[in-house]
Chain A
Amino acid sequence: MVDVIFLILSVSAVAASVIALQARELIYGAVALGVALLATAGLFVLLDAPFVAMFQVTVYIGAVVVLILFTIMLVKREQWIGGSYEGINPCLSVIGGIMVVAGLMYAGWASGLVTINASEEFGITFLQIGRDMMSGYAPALILAAITLAAALIGALTMAKVEKEG
C-alpha cells in the first residue's frame, strides 16, 4: 500500500515538475509547480515528517505559488508564452540534466544506499523540532526571522511603484 502511494506521489511530482517547465502558458506552469510541491509534501508525510509537510503546504503553496501567480498577472500576456523562449540548444540542456542525475545516482550507488531500508519505527515526534529550534538553533531561528523580514521589506521597496515627478 505504501509502495503504491509512494509511486503515485513520486511520479506525479516528477511529471508536474516537467509540466511546470514545459507548459506553454506560464500560468499552467505555476499551477503544475504547486502540484509538484504538494506531491513532495505527500512524500514528507510518508517520511514521518508531517510538520515539514504542513509547513511546505502553507509556505510554498499558500505563499510562494500565490506570489508567482500575482507576478504572472502583472507581467504582460505576450511574455507568458514559452514557445520562442528556449535558451541554448534544448538537447544539450537535456543531456546536462541527465548527466547530473547520472552523477548523483552513481554517487548514491557507490556509497551503498541500496542496502539502507526503513525497518524500525521513527520514534521522534515533531515536538522535538520545537525543542531544538528554541534551544540549540535559537540563533539560527532569529537569523532566519531577520532574513525573512529584511527580504520582504526589500522586495516591497523594490516592487513599489514610484510616482513620476
Chain B
Amino acid sequence: MMESLLSYFLVSSILFGIGVYGVIAKRNAIRILFAVEIIINAANLNFVAFSRFPPSPNILGQTFALFSIALAAAEAAVGLAIILVAFRAHDTVDVSQLKKLRG
C-alpha cells in the first residue's frame, strides 16, 4: 500500500511546501539556505521515485539526482561564502537589512 508512487510524491510535495514556507517566511539568510536545500532535496526524491516506478523503471532519474546533488553542493558553498562576505560588510545576516551587496 505504502509502496506506491503517490506516497513518495506526497512526502516530496510536503517537503517542497515546507521549503517554500521557509523561503517566504524567514529573514535569516542561513535559514533561507536551509529552505532551499530542503526544496532541492524534495526534487531529488521526485527524480528517484519517478524513475523507480512503472511504466518505465530506469536509471535516468538516479543519474539526474546525482548531478543535482553535486550542483546543490556547489550552490551551498557559494551561498555560504556570499553570506559570510555580506556578514563581514554589514554585520548582519538579516536579508531585509541587506539592501545592497556592495561592500
A residues contacting B by CB (< 8 A) are: 2-3, 6-7, 10, 13-14, 17-18, 20-21, 26, 29-30, 33, 36-37, 40, 43-44, 47-49, 51-52, 55-56, 59-60, 63-64, 67-68, 71-72, 74-76, 79, 82, 85-88, 90, 92-94, 96-98, 100-101, 104-105, 108, 113-114, 116-120, 122, 124, 126, 128-129, 132-133, 137, 140-141, 144, 147-148, 151-152, 154-156, 158-159
Contacts and interface: CB of A to CB of B under 8 A. Distances in A.
A144 B7 CA distance: 31
Given A21-B26, A87-B25, A88-B25, A100 B53 contact: no
B15 to A, nearest CB: 6
Interface residues of B, number: 72
Contacts, number: 247
Contact of A88 (B6, B19, B24, B66): B24
Nearest to A53: B48
A86 B77 CA distance: 25
B26 A71 contact: no
Given A74-B84, A147-B74, 15 more contacts: A43-B45, A49-B62, A52-B62, A59-B69, A60-B41, A60-B72, A67-B77, A71-B83, A74-B87, A79-B87, A85-B28, A120-B54, A122-B52, A155-B78, A158-B82
